[in-house]
Chain A
Amino acid sequence: MAGSDTTAQASADRSAPDTVKILIAGGFGVGKTTMVGSVSEIAPLRTEEPLTMAGLDVDDLDGVEEKRATTVAMDFGRITVSDDLVLYLFGTPGQQRFWFMWNDLALGALGAVVLVDVRRPKSSFAAIDFFERRNIPFVIAVNGFHGEHPYPVEDIRESLTLPESVPVLLCDARERESSRDVLIALIDRLIAQAAPAG
């Protein structure tokens, strides 16, 4: 897009879009990056933050090797919603010990998708708890292993002790349309909450 003819054209091209974000959360290895990648218009990008820079106290100073390995990786993708609005999807760091980063991530997010692995639903308990405590709207997306869903939604809802108000969807995070439908379900929940009752 280099080399615009007129300055008017250039300044129109260069006007920055508004941005919003949605978090894709869930336990380690549940398919967060897969979901980001299946709907993103770009291959998922990764940022790595050394923990020492993220403000964590390092009490073990002999361990240069330890420090070297300690980075938090975060994968994210992008969906251009319209000319002037871009949606970013951030996969939250899965391991529990990196949760201090979630507060920053959650700030200003529209809402969250909590991915649940049918084989290990408990690994997403902590994520559910995080969003419930902070009153951040979320939907549950049950990611089927190889796209298979052996359990009905109601069983999963019960095992996660979720209230009726939280939508539970079955999905295949590898599929663009399936992941898109999960995001739409989240937005629908937000719209329902925003619209005047009735």
Chain B
Amino acid sequence: MGGSDSAGRLVRPFTLTGGRTRPSRADFTLITTVTAADPQPETAARPQPEHLRILRLCAEPVAVAELAARLDLPVSVVVIMLCDLLEAGRITAHPPHPVTRTTPDLDLLQKVREGLGRL
């Protein structure tokens, strides 16, 4: 290990995920919304400090990309930690609105159109 600061910054995230580089679930996209469970489940295992940071940031619903930006961590690393939290029942995940080319959702598009019109 070279030990320079910026190299450390890239190595460190893996230590947060116990060396794993692949999420155990595919249900976290950039715009999946996560919310801390309230109340938190009563389990013996104490969340790690990084997990606690995530739980604080998602006390209100927040998108995965936003969470990663606020934690200053790569999305891939945050997703792995979110998998742990989801498995532990500490967060809920809300998937993005499904978008299909074959059957476009006209109501959704109108809603976006109106929202943009108000800007």
Contact = CB atoms under 8 A, between A and B. Distances in A.
Interface of A: 1-2, 10, 13-21, 39, 45-50, 52-54, 64, 67-68, 71, 76, 78-82, 85-88, 90, 105, 107-110, 135, 176-177, 180, 183-184, 187-188, 190-191, 193-195
B19 interface: no
Given A78-B63, A187-B113, 6 more contacts: A16-B94, A17-B94, A80-B115, A81-B114, A85-B112, A177-B119
Nearest to B22: A55
B90 to A, nearest CB: 14
22 contacts: A14-B35, A18-B94, A18-B97, A20-B96, A20-B112, A45-B65, A53-B74, A53-B76, A67-B7, A76-B30, A82-B114, A82-B115, A85-B108, A87-B115, A90-B30, A108-B31, A108-B98, A110-B112, A176-B119, A184-B116, A184-B117, A188-B113
B97 A20 contact: yes
Given A45-B65, A45-B70, A47-B69, A18 B96 contact: yes
Contact of A85 (B2, B30, B115): B115
Contact of B99 (A85, A108, A191): A108
Most buried by A among B66, B99, B116: B116
Contact of A191 (B61, B75, B110): B110
Contact of A50 (B10, B61, B117): B10
A47 B115 contact: no
A54 B112 contact: no
The number of chain B residues touching the other chain, given as a range, is 35 or more
A16 B2 CA distance: 43
Interface in B69-103: 69-70, 74-77, 92, 94, 96-99, 101
Nearest to A74: B65
Contacts of B119: 39, 79, 176-177, 180
A28 to B, nearest CB: 21
A71 to B, nearest CB: 8
B113 A19 contact: no
